[in-house]
């Protein structure tokens, strides 16, 4: 469903939705150490990429950032695994990544967007995200230690 890859340019930076350009080593290397997906196996990252609309951020042909969107392309989208490498943080690239996501043609007219963040609320607020208006209506089934269990199963 992802259609033709989209590409956005800003000076020396490029954002592309072309999955073939993504650097799986870099993405897995980042995610497996980050606070929300610590220990995630490489094959799980690969499968998540395969089944998402992915946005790679590039400088000088090298990947320096990432975000992915899980969506039915009709009513709902969830944004996850957003990062910009430390070396390029604080220059407006995270905001631009969010702007490109929100402007993508396949993601227009949706009834609801979702995401989860520990401390980047200010970033997402600039793209129209707010705290849950009715948290009592939302439920989750969260398994934060799922990758520890996967590792234990592999190395009993």
Ligand X SMILES: CC(C)(COP(=O)(O)OP(=O)(O)OC[C@H]1O[C@@H](n2cnc3c(N)ncnc32)[C@H](O)[C@@H]1OP(=O)(O)O)[C@@H](O)C(=O)NCCC(=O)NCCS
Residue 77 interacts with ligand X (CB under 6 A): yes or no = no
Among 24, 89, 103, 146, binds ligand X (CB under 6 A): 89
DSSP state, 129?
-
Q: Does 102 bind ligand X (CB under 6 A)?
A: no
CB of 126 to ligand X, least distance (A): 6
Using CB atoms, what's the residue nearest to ligand X? 94
Please say which residue, 56 or 94, places its beta carbon nearer to ligand X: 94
**DSSP code for 6:** P
Residue nearer to ligand X on the CB measure, 3 or 117: 117
Burial track 96-118 (b if 16+ CB lie within 10 A, e otherwise) = bbbebbbebebbeeeeebebeee
Binding status of residue 31 toward ligand X by CB under 6 A: no
- Backbone phi, then psi, for 9, in 5-degree steps? -125, 145
């Amino acid at each position: 469903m992802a259609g033709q890859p989209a590409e956005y340019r800003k000076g020396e930076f490029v954002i592309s939705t072309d999955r073939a350009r993504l650097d799986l080593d870099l993405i897995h290397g980042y995610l497996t150490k980050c606070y929300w997906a610590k220990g995630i196996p490489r094959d799980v990252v690969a499968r998540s990429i395969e089944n998402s609309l992915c946005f790679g951020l590039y400088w000088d042909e090298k990947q320096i950032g990432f975000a992915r969107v899980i969506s039915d392309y009709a009513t709902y989208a969830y944004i996850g695994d957003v990062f910009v490498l430390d070396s390029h943080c604080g220059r407006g690239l995270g905001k631009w990544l969010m702007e490109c996501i929100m402007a993508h043609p396949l993601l227009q007219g949706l009834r609801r967007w979702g995401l989860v963040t520990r401390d980047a609320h200010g970033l997402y607020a600039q793209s129209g995200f707010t705290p849950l208006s009715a948290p009592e209506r939302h439920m989750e089934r969260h398994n934060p230690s799922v990758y520890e269990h996967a590792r234990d199963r592999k190395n009993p």
